[in-house]
Structure 1
Amino acid sequence: MIRFEDLLKPTPAGLYCPPGDFYIDPVRPVERAVITHGHSDHARAGHGAVLATPQTLAIMAERYGEDFTVARQAAPYGQTTAINGVDIRLVPAGHVLGSAQAVVSWKGITMVASGDYKRRRDPTCAGFEPVPCHVFISEATFGLPVFTHPPDSEEVGRLVQSLGQFPDRAHLVGAYALGKAQRVIRLLREAGWERPIYVHGALERLNALYQREGVDLGPILPATGLPKDSLGGEVAIAPPSAIQDRWARRFADPVTAFASGWMGVKARARQRGVELPLVISDHADWTELTTTFTELKPEEIWITHGREEGLLRWCELNGQTARALRLVGYDEEDEEAPVAEPDPVR
């Protein structure tokens, strides 16, 4: 009798498929990898071969250089690829541009490794698609009932309102370079903000990639080479580390904002010195996670990288079989490493 672990099993290097001899989002270099999305805790350089969506491959090339892998294979959404007799199909995860769930099928068993995902609309990427399966492998970043994220439009509306209230102050928004920054820009555009948005140099290349992929960000200007006390009444977006760095001191009495699901925790906002916390997450909140489990009703739910205990208890109370994988090497949030801004303070 075939066990689910015969198809996918946790190992120190990551989730491994023995019959296909490949890993999904391995945390160390391997011979063959399937990558769900471009965040650095899931997409690492140095693999022998990488299969991913065309957008994820482009993101990896942008971040690591064209030689990030020996061989690459683009798998558009919905296309089935056979690896050593195991079928792999990538479907949208709704996390960031190009993000995918890996649908793995073999000998009548279908398992879905969701990577990171969210269920709400995102104007910068394809929305999550539920796939019937025997085993659903879910993240648990916000796997506690306290995490119920408000509508994105309300949070961006608070930013626009603050711009109206403080027209002489620069508004600096901390947002992760891949996915969050572009999403905040698009949400601002949908909220009616038509003026140029200024960006830290660390965001420019990924912004350009999103534009090439058809995501219209509107007028974008570099937040470099500007005189001191500039950008009063304007929006500048930067990596989270930059809004607390000397880079931020050049701007006019800045209002510091941070777009993250963790901004729903007041202590975290205070710890970071954030004046305007914006609860905007690229991960599923508690309601989205449990709604997904209810909708799919798989034979088993495997829970990883996050707060497994709360979801394990929910599954127990709702008659669903679940286990914690406890894979290591994945961040609870998509924090990028601090980046230096070359432009001197003037």
Structure 2
Amino acid sequence: MRVTPQGLYCVPGDFFIDPARAVPRAIVTHGHADHARPDHDHVLASDATLAIMRTRMGEGRAGRTQQVAPMGEVIHHNGVDIRLVPAGHVLGSCQVVLDWQGSRIVISGDYKRRPDPTCLPFEPVTCDVFVTEATFGLPVFRHPDPADEIARLLHSLRLFPDRAHLIGAYALGKAQRLIALLRQAGWDRPIFLHGALLALCGLYEGFGVKLGPLEPVPLPQKRGAGGLLAGEVVLAPPGAEATAWVRRLADPVICAASGWMRVRQRAKARGVELPLILSDHADWDELLATTAEVQAPEIWVTHGRDDALVHALALRGIKGRALYLLGRGEEDEEPAAEPVAEASA
């Protein structure tokens, strides 16, 4: 593998993994925009990732030719054996396993280790080189039990029945996981969605992920009127709380679901009343456990706090290398990353 301005490049296979700009041949680990870029000539990915790319980019920009790689099936290309295995990050997310001349490298993309009813769980693969993220690569980041965070949300709903609860949740992965966790906790009422979340929730349903009754946030009967959805759960992209759109809701409790809510200053800066620490990435302990589990003598770190992780790996006798790939982590899990159209429902 070679690090190039476009991203990770497999020399014998002549393809890129999650390239940052359009290339002739790309393997895409998942549908977040810092990994899935438009206008490649040929894209190989899981069926769900390709569907997500078409939904977000349009058919014409999701790869001029598109090749579905079924999970676990080996694809031979230029002497390289390519296999996709689940990464546990979002629907369709994969690790890329490459075997060539007796050596194996695994590019994990983004991943989490917690159970998630909306996607397949992470599958560890032993290898010679493991390429990991480090979004939450500091010891301070130890994610709580998601069930406890949902319990805090349900408690607030009981405490403030006259207020809507507006939760900022990233449109791909976080929103659907939050809905599924609420359903597991017994919330069977309709969940109301900002218009920017509707298409991807529908896509999840199309792939067999049951999300229960979902409704678009209604328009007020009179222009400028508010007071809607008291006692209900409303999901919107991060940033919606700062737009005029929010005025239609009944005195909303501003919530945000993100691993970054562990940092109180982030929550305070955004005016978040109820921070929910709910991440789709591995925390510090899970990063270390994963790097031990795959038994790789060499670990490459693509983004996040690579310095802390590389140091911790060195203490364990593992060679670490920071790759400094451009464009990683720009969108996923970033609290204010999702663009919001105020007119959207």
TM-score range, shorter chain: over 0.9
Match of 2:286 in 1: 288
Match of 1:22 in 2: 15
Maintained 8 Å contact 2:196/2:344:
no
Percent of counterpart pairs with the same letter? 59
1:132-147 equivalences under 5 Å are 132-147=126-141
Q: Which residue of the other structure, out of 95, 103, 120, is the alignment partner of 1:101?
A: 95
Alpha carbons of structure 1 residues 318 and 333: separation in structure 2 relative to 1, 3 Å: farther
Return the alpha-carbon distance in structure 2 between the equivalents of residues 243 and 222 of structure 1. Answer: 16
Query: Structure 1 residue 31 and structure 2 residue 29: aligned?
Result: no
Match of 1:342 in 2: 343
Q: Which residue of the other structure, out of 169, 177, 193, is the alignment partner of 1:183?
A: 177
Q: Shift of residue 83 of structure 1?
A: 1.6
Match of 1:64 in 2: 57
Maintained 8 Å contact 2:32/2:331:
no
Return the alpha-carbon distance in structure 1 between the equivalents of residues 93 and 344 of structure 2. Answer: 32
Match of 2:189 in 1: 195
Stretch moving more, 331-340 or 260-269: 331-340
Deviations 1:310-341 (A, max 9, x none): 11111111111111111111125514441214
Match of 2:219 in 1: 225
Q: Shift of residue 342 of structure 1?
A: 2.4
Maintained 8 Å contact 1:201/1:341:
no
Any unmatched runs of 5+ in structure 2?
none
Deviations 1:193-222 (A, max 9, x none): 010000000010000000010111000000
Greater than 6 Å deviation, 4+ residue runs: none
Alpha carbons of structure 1 residues 343 and 331: separation in structure 2 relative to 1, 3 Å: closer
Return the alpha-carbon distance in structure 2 between the equivalents of residues 243 and 131 of structure 1. Answer: 41
Return the alpha-carbon distance in structure 2 between the equivalents of residues 222 and 206 of structure 1. Answer: 13
Q: Shift of residue 343 of structure 1?
A: 4.9
Maintained 8 Å contact 1:304/1:325:
yes
Match of 1:86 in 2: 80
Stretch moving more, 222-231 or 87-96: 222-231
Match of 1:208 in 2: 202
Stretch moving more, 292-301 or 165-174: 292-301
Maintained 8 Å contact 1:224/1:343:
no
Deviations 1:166-192 (A, max 9, x none): 000000000000000000000000111
Maintained 8 Å contact 1:200/1:341:
no
Match of 1:122 in 2: 116
Deviations 1:225-269 (A, max 9, x none): 245111100000000011221111111110000000000000000
Given the two structures, how large is their TM-score scaled by the length of structure 1?
0.96
Match of 1:244 in 2: 242
Deviations 1:273-316 (A, max 9, x none): 10000000001000110001111220200011100011111111
Query: Structure 1 residue 42 and structure 2 residue 35: aligned?
Result: yes
Maintained 8 Å contact 2:170/2:338:
no
- The residue type paired with residue 300 of structure 1 is E
Q: Shift of residue 131 of structure 1?
A: 0.3
Query: Structure 1 residue 11 and structure 2 residue 9: aligned?
Result: no
- The residue type paired with residue 341 of structure 2 is A
Maintained 8 Å contact 1:306/1:332:
no
Return the alpha-carbon distance in structure 1 between the equivalents of residues 187 and 205 of structure 2. Answer: 18
Given the two structures, how large is their TM-score scaled by the length of structure 2?
0.96
Alignment length, in residue pairs? 337
Return the alpha-carbon distance in structure 2 between the equivalents of residues 244 and 93 of structure 1. Answer: 33
SS at structure 1 position matched to 2:282? coil
Maintained 8 Å contact 2:89/2:280:
yes
Maintained 8 Å contact 2:219/2:248:
no
Match of 2:252 in 1: 254
Match of 1:330 in 2: 328
Match of 1:3 in 2: none
